[in-house]
């Protein structure tokens, strides 16, 4: 399967996650967590990095939503707010799991090849997707080599000399299963949009 098909499936998964709630969200979250592996470790690192985002999202939604208070008191969150906050935190955690799975199962060259294929129609509008891909690759490399917060002085070290790198992107054609995946993803996105309208 072409990497672009994998990216389309990933985008569809991210869209569908936004519609999950209640028991279905918990079931999907537990199902994905049971797969474990390296993707789960990567997700744990991503979730730990976003812990303040999780906390602030929970506090803002739980205490900022109107509804029946959980207990009688001044600082009581609403029941509806707690449900909404847990739903949003669960969705965000599930998106992080899907991102970690994508990064674990798709090497960077394949990811770039898939994105190049998906962004190729933008050439007609005058946008060069290759420049964007090189910038994305540099950002991914920077994030992977970023020193720990306690080693921030390493960021101040200026490297002497210039190094040039060559980026190779394997370009391969779409096969008939890839076209089928594109049609299924497009149909699913249209169905989700119609359902939400």
Query: Are the C-beta atoms of 93 and 105 separated by less than 8 Å?
Result: no
pLDDT band at 50 (very low <50, low <70, confident <90, very high): confident
- Domain definitions of the chain by residue range: 15-106, 108-146+168-173
SS3 per residue for the chain: CCHHHHHHHHHHHHHHHCCCCHHHHHHHHHHHHHHCCHHHHHHHHHHHHCHHHHHHHHHHHHHHCCCCECCCCCCCCEHHHHHHHHHHHHHHHHHHHHHHHHHHHCCHHHHHHHHHHHHHHHHHHCCCHHHHHHHHHHHHHHHHHCCCHHHHHHHHCCCCCCCCCCCCCCCCCCCHHHHHHHHHHHHHHHHHHHHHC
Residues composing the chain: 197
- The pLDDT value recorded for residue 154 is 61
List the single range of 2-16, 24-38, 54-68 with lowest mean pLDDT: 24-38
- The pLDDT value recorded for residue 116 is 82
Residue 145 clears pLDDT 70, i.e. is over it: no
d(CA 80, CA 113): 44
d(CA 111, CA 123): 19
Each residue's pLDDT tens digit, 67-103: 888 888 778 888 888 999 999 998 998 888 888 888 7
Residue 25 clears pLDDT 60, i.e. is over it: yes
Q: What percent of the chain has pLDDT over 90?
A: 5
List the single range of 17-21, 39-43, 103-107, 157-161 with lowest mean pLDDT: 157-161
d(CA 148, CA 29): 29
d(CA 90, CA 5): 26
């Amino acid at each position: 399967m072409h990497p672009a098909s994998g990216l389309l499936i990933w985008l569809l998964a991210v869209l569908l996650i936004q519609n999950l709630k209640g028991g279905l969200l918990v079931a999907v979250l537990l199902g994905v967590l049971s797969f474990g592996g390296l993707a789960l470790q990567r997700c744990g690192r991503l979730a730990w990095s976003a812990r303040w985002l999780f906390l602030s999202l929970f506090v803002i939604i739980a205490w900022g939503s109107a509804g029946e208070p959980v207990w009688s008191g001044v600082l009581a969150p609403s029941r509806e707010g707690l449900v909404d906050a847990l739903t949003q935190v669960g969705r965000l955690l599930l998106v992080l799991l899907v991102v970690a799975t994508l990064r674990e199962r798709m090497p960077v060259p394949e990811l770039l090849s898939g994105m190049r294929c998906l962004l190729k129609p933008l050439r007609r509008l005058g946008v060069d997707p290759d420049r964007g891909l090189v910038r994305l690759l540099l950002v991914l490399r920077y994030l992977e080599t970023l020193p720990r917060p306690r080693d921030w002085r390493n960021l101040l070290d200026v490297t002497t000399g210039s190094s040039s790198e060559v980026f190779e992107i394997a370009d391969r054609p779409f096969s008939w299963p890839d076209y089928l995946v594109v049609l299924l993803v497009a149909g699913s996105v249209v169905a989700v949009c119609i359902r939400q309208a």
